[in-house]
Structures are given as C-alpha cells and as structure tokens.
Structure 1
Amino acid sequence: MAHPVVALIAAIAALVALPGAAHASSRTKLRAGCQAGKLYDCVELGTYWENGDRGPQSYGKALALYRQACDGGEVLGCHELARLHETGTGVPIDVARGAKLYDRACDGGYLDSCLHLARLYREGRGITKDLKRVRFILSKACKLGNGRSCCDLGLMLHKGEGGRADLAQALTVYDQGCDVQDARACLQAGIAFRDGVGVAKDLEAAKRRLDAACQYGGKRFCDVPLDQGEGGSVDTPGARRPVSERCLDGADSVACMMGTLVRYHERVPSRLEPSRAYFDKSCAEGKGFGCFKLGLLAQEAGDLKKARALYQAGCEASHPEACTNLGFMIAKGHGGEADAKAAFERFSKACLEGDPMGCLNHGVFMMLGTVSPKDPQAALLSYDKGCAGGEPMACHNAGILYRLGLGTTANPGKARELLTKACSYGYTPSCEAAKKL
C-alpha cells in the first residue's frame, strides 16, 4: 500500500506549510508543466492519478506518467515505476522489472532506490540472491553519502556476508555513516572502539561516537554503556522499562520479553532547528529523511496530528524509521484514529525495508497476536532481523525465545549469545539474564 510522498505532502500542505508551488498546483498546472518538459511535474501528476487526489483515480495514467518521466531521465519516475512493478500496484507483480528500474534510478543518484535494489538482491525475491552484489550497491550508495547504506555495509563486512569479513573496513564505513548523521552507524562505530573490534580499544573515541549516536538518534541511542557488559549500571532518562515482576531470572518465561511498542525520539530538538529549512526542502522534494526529521520536531513539540502526517509522508517515501514512528502513532491513536491492522502494516514495511525497531514492533505484534493468531516463529524471524540490525530489545526477545524453544528448537547457547549482545548494547534486563544462563 505504498503511495508516494509528494501526493501526501500535497494533501497535508496546510498542516506542514511546506514550500514549493508545485505542491499547491492543480492537476491542470501540473499537466501543463509535464507537457512543457518539467518531468518532476509528470511524477507528481502521476501520484495524483495513482491516489485519486484532486480528481479521478487511474493506475494506468499514473504508470504512463511515471514511465514518461523515467524515459526522460527523471530518476524519481523510475523509482515510482519500480515500486508499482515490485508491489503489483495497478500492474501484475514483476519484481525483476522493478529491480531493473531501481537499478536505473540508483545509477542516476536516487539513493533510496539503491537501498531497495540491495534489499531485493539480499532477499532473492524475483531475482537471484547475490550478497556480493548487495555489498557493491551499498558501497556505491555509502560513498554518495547515504548513511544507512554505510551502516548496512558495515554489518555485512563485520559478519563476512557477501565476501570475507573485514572488521577494520567495517569500522571505516561505520564512521562514514556517522559522518552523515546516521545514528546506527555511530552506535556500531562506538561499540567497535569500546570493545576493540577491528581497532585498538579507545574509550575516548567510543564516547565521541556514542554521544553522536545519542545526538542524532534520540533517547533510544543514549543508554549504551562505555564498559562492555556493565549495562546494569546505566541509569539515564532514556532507560528502558524493566521486565515484568513475574519474570524470575530475566529470561525464564515470555513475561521477561519486552512487549511494548517503541519509537524514535529526538532527545534535543533544538539541535535540529538550524537544519529545519533543509528538512523542509528535502521533504518537499519527496525525500523521506526530511519528512521524518520534521515529524520528530513536531512530535516533540506536541503537535501529534502534524507529526503523524509528516511520518506518513516519510513512510510513503520509503523511509523506514518514519514508517516505524507512524505505526506507533497509529497503534496508539496519537494524532488520529487508532488502527491496529494499519499499524502492523507500517511495522511490516519498516522491517522489510531494514529498520530494526520496526522489526521489533512487528515481532511484538506477532508474539501478542494483536492482529492475527500468536506466531512465535514469525516473531522470532522479526526479532532476529532486528537484532542483526543492532536493536537491543530485539536481541533480548530473540534470546528468550531461543531459551524457551518457542518458534524454534531450544538453544541455551544461542540464547546466551543474544542476551549478551543485548546487554552490550545497553539493554539492562539482559545483563543479569545472560549471567544466569
């Protein structure tokens, strides 16, 4: 149910007061611009037809407009066309064709398409799975300044996916991601310096990077201890909620699992204010990152309706963190009606596109049976994916399922490994639980 960001921004323009005459234009003006060779107007007009905004709805006309823009060299048109083919929106599903279009948009510099292309090669869905190719794509996007690609590439280098493991190079690309304000990349770099992984231990260097993770990612990135394994001593405003009192040793029952939904916060909103104009421009151009940052500012300011609209715009632009926060707001009924099924769909999209917190929330829904029967096996898959991306609470929940043998064969060694990992990331309930296994 992906819809492009530009149409959403047009629908909420009065709320978010975004600049740019295009977003206040009628179909007539956009049509005239498209006919005059303004290919971005063709893309935006396509979103109007796709969503039935300000007039009739027609997937056929949307496809034709996206194709016209793409053929003319507007990479956003290629991206939107790829999305429709991948998801089967208005056309039969053709993932291979979608991949070719994502590749074209990626080559043209639309970095979100690089992430989608890497995802398809990683999953092997509709195309041959090729982790070596994933490395190449992420490396290209990382060099062009996409922080999430840097972090994902670092994780592959760390684990030896798609080639030999290279811990030193992993740290290099984590730092590159941190330099462009990707909180998760800063976190991974900080942990590498803290634990001496691929580099000599350096607590001062670790602290700089962990502080940056906290600054860029908000509260949930602010609990990571400088001393490995000493997570139990952390006591900060962003500390996680303790496990249920029914839990005896930290990992002996499902009551020990983290079962509440979580979202991204902005710990110091004032630090984003100097960049507000840049976020406005980015969001208006259909870049989900800008919409997400504006959503964080609106939410911390208490304007939940505006935040929800901005997260919606970011999510439709395939920014996974925006989908996670949108799912949280929809689940809680913040800024609009509550809808568990719609929230679950946003968490699914966020997890599919690689957001670890989205995977955590997706797993929570599957474990609790919020919108479907309880499914520990599906929950474990989500938790494992979230843990691989650096989400400590996903590691914690996965560890408990491995210990209890829910959704998988009981594996105490794997449980201890995951709980220890969660502890090293700063999730305090995992620390004592790991010691008792």
Structure 2
Amino acid sequence: MVIAIVLSGVAHAARAQESACGALAPAACAREASARLEQDPTRSVAMLRSACDRGESEGCRVLGALHVLGRFVALDVVQAHTLFGIACDAGNDRACFDLARMLARGEGGRAEPERAITLLERACDARVWASCGELAGMLERGDGGMRADAERARSLYERACENDDAAACEVLADRAESDPRRRVAWLGRACEGGRLAACERWGEALRESDAERAAGALRRACEGGVLSACNGLGLMHEDGAGVARDLERALVLFRRACDGGIALACNNVGRFVEDGIGGARADVAAAAQLYQRACEGGAPVGCNNLALLHEEGRGVVQDATRARELYERACDGGAMLGCYHLAIALDERREARRATELLTRACSEDVAIACTTLGARFEAGRGVMQDLAQASSLYSRACNDEDRLGCVALGSMMQEGRGVPRDLAGAARLFAHACDAGELAGCTRLGLMHQSGEGVAEDAGRAVTLFRRACEGGELRGCNSLGYMFERGLGVGADAVRARDLYARACDGGVLRGCSNLAVLHLRGEGGVPQDTARAVQLFERACEGRNGLACTNLGALVESGGAGLSADPARAASLYRRACEIGHARGCAQLADMLDAGRGVPRDAERASALRAQACGQGYERACVSR
C-alpha cells in the first residue's frame, strides 16, 4: 500500500520524488539515504522524504528521528510524532518503540502511557530489545495504571541486556550495588555496547582488580567526551597503574578535564602546578587559584588544599581564620582530610572535644593519619580518658592502612609493653617496615634498638647507618642519636665537633634532648669543643622548660652545687628535681629523694624520699634500688 502524506505543507510531486530517489525502490532509497546522511545531508533528507511519501516506513522513521534531534532538519517533535505514527502503523516495530517513548513522556502530543505500554510490548515481542528495557522501566515505576512489578521488570532488563541493549545493562548494574561481581559484568556489557558513562564506571570498578582493563575503559570514555573519565585516566598515568607512568600525560588529561568543568581535575592540576611536576612550572599562587576553582566547583579536597596554603601563607595571604573556614567546608563536603586538619586546628585552640569527634570521624573513613593522631590522644590521655588498649588498636589500624607513623607508634608501645604485651622482635619489625617505607622515625627507633642490642643484635655500625639515613632525611631525632654515636665513638671514630654540630641541628629543630646533649658538651669543653658554661646553662634551661627531664636534672645538679658560675640554691635545685621527676626522669626522682632525706632545700620527709626511690628504681635507675 502506498502512503501519501504532506510534510510541513510542502507537496512533493512525482517528478521531485523520482529526482531524489532516481530509479531506486523506496526501501533501497531509504537505506542509501541513511548511509549518506553525513556526506550529503541535503540530498539524503530529500531521499528520506521521497521514500516516506512512497510508503517506505523506515524512511519515515529515520526522518522522524532527525526531527527529534534537529539534525539536518528543523527540530520538530510534533512532526516526529506524526512520522513515527505513520511508520508504526505501517508495521515498523522500531518506529513503534520511538512513538511509545514520546507517548510515555507526552512529547509531540498528549501523554498516553497505556498506549505506550501496548506499543512497547509489541516492539519487545518483535525483538526491538531497547523496547524491553523501556517497558521494564515503566513496569518498575507502575506507569500507565499498571501494578508495579519489579520481578518482571528485572526479567525484561536482563532479556534486553542479553541482546545487547546497553542501556538495560547499565540499569542492571545500578541495581546490583550489593553484588560487585555482577555489577562489574553489567557495566562491562554496557560499556561494550557504547554507553560511555558506563565505561567510566566500569573503569573505576576495575581499578584495583584489573588496572590495565580499567585504563582501557577510562580511555574509551575520555576519548568519547566523558571528561571525568579523563581525570580518572590521568590519575592512572600519575600512579603508573595499568599504563606507563607518565606525569606529562597525566597533566594533559587533568587540564582537559579541568577546562571542561571537572572540579576534581582542577584540584589535580593544582597539585602538579604547586609542586612543579609533569612539566608544569612551579607556581604556588597559580595552584591556589586552581584549588579555589576546584573548591567553588564542588570538589571539597580543593577547599582542603587551599586551606593548607592559607595556613602556611604560601601563594596566598596567611590567614588562620580563612584556613579554618575552608577546612570546615572541606569536612562538611566529605573530604575527610579536611576533618583531620580541622581537628588539628581546633586542638591548638583547646577545643579538644570537637577535635576528638572529628578525628574519630576521619579515622572511621580510613584517613590513617587521623587514626594515628587519635591513638596518640588516647595514649597520652589528652582530651580523652587515657586508654592504652584503644591507643594500640588505633595505631594498628593506621599501620594496616599504610600510615607508617602509626607503625612506629605501635612499635614503641610493643617495645615498652604499654597497652600490649611486650614484644621486642615485633617492635623491631614494625620499625624496620616503617623505615623501609620512608618513615624516618622508624629508622631512628630501629637504630636505638641496634645501639642497645635490645631485641635485635647489638650493632653500632648498623645503628650509625640508620641514624645517618634518618638525619639526612630531616628526622632530627636521628641527628641527635648520630651525634651521640660521634660523641662516644660508637660505630664511628669519636668526633666531639661533629657531635656538637649534630646536637645543634637537632636542638635548633626542637629536639630538646639535642639541646641537653649540646649543653653537656659545652659544659665539659672537650674534644675541640670550647667550654662555654653560660651557653650550657641556657641550653639546659631551654630544654627543661620544654619538659626534657634530663635537662632539668642536670640543671638541678648545677644549681645545687653552685657549678657553671651559678649561685648554690638548694630550694631551686629541689624544684628542678621535682619537675624532672614529674616529667618521668628517674634520676631526678632519686636526686629529690636525697634532698628530702637531708632536709636540704625542702623540709625533711623520709617517707616521701623512700617512695621516690622506689619510683626511680621501678623506672630502671639502679642507684635508687641500692639506696632503698
């Protein structure tokens, strides 16, 4: 049967039809027109109209699809609705599907969900598989007065997906959140069927288990214009996961995504620009602008990174208040590092309760450094009730999550038997693990074990190697320990001048034991180090004020005896010993006990003296044990 229609008021005469299609039959004309659309759209549209006028339903359907999109013809959903209806009535099941979607949405005419369902069922039975997926959605929602039927909807989605309807596969993936294996499989089918958003999701899901396939999926999505996938692919190039490590390529991908409005990518460009990597010129001020852009664009990690710059005054004005506001924003947006940094800022303002809450939240979201910091609070009883078992548990969690400082803290508790059974070999393993991973505090702690032979073979040379590695890497406790080795000639030739320089470096960096050790060198004036008693007293005072018990004890001894040019002052000496004892320095407790026994500088108190000697003995000061 020949169908004659009038399109937009334009009559097509038989001569025009013949000139458009030539000698081609209507079906062949429609096929050739569809194939030539991109090369010759004007002639192809004329051929489709001619084929449609001559009764070829596929010509009507393709022309309707062009009117829906506004490609090569005017955007006209009413005309599309008419054309799909003509084609559907002529037996074109794909056109019935297209018409059903318009009827379901009320496009080009009034909404008719019941009729839409009828047409979808017809098209689905005719193996227009996308119709099955569309029908499943309507069943799932209970559209058109139908009773919602999730089971039948799922069956239809599966039927459509198994027959290469990629959209249905993606829907199934959304429904399979509780079954990761099936979710990955559905996403893979959706991606292979051309759903580029599914390719990105598939790539992200495969990142840990199959990095190479993940990179391929992200590349496909990125090349197809899914800019967030470009950002994901950039991260893989940065890490060298599934692809060659290529920082310059990573930066190109980050920039492309950022320029396209992906806020998280702007943060990543900022990281590269801040550090001058991937061929970027180091520019902290430019990095700050990128972080600002990321933050305002909805990437809370950008807020966190901008806050760090404001806190340090790098590239922006130093502003602690602004930093705190940005940390708040980052934390509220779900960037757990923002919660961690906010906790640190609040702790400095003595808002311990909220700081603890934030650390707990960040730790629960696998921010390992937050677990370590929270563990330190429980260990010291700072802002919380002291709980050594909880501290060790938090350190263990942090260590397992690759925070090596947590490993060092847990090793220290194992070494001392605090909160956990004493385990020297286990402590040494943790220190070695942390050291090998670049946490230099672990190198220092392992070096101290080798120096003393506690739990490991006594090996001064190995200790020196570990201390030197730590010190050269900026771990100043390692410098102090290396200075001690040079002072005593352990594992290296004795060199007091070298020891002095190392102690000074540690002291200048805030290691108070280094100040105390440097003071001793100046007090003695040996090995090429000039004697300087005034400098020694200053260093002891500085270290003691910073709660270094050894310095308080040594300064107390000088004050008690009137050494180093000081006036003898038994009362002040007793006060210094008391401070040392309260800090936990056993010899300070024993010295105070002697003064209490003699009633020198303090009222005589034999009972208190005996208790202090017992305390010092229990802390390992053997002379106090003999004097009891």
Scaled to the shorter chain, the TM-score interval is 0.3 to 0.5
Structure with bigger RCO (C-alpha 8 Å, 6+ apart): 1
Which is greater in Rg? 2
Q: State TM-score, norm by structure 2.
A: 0.34
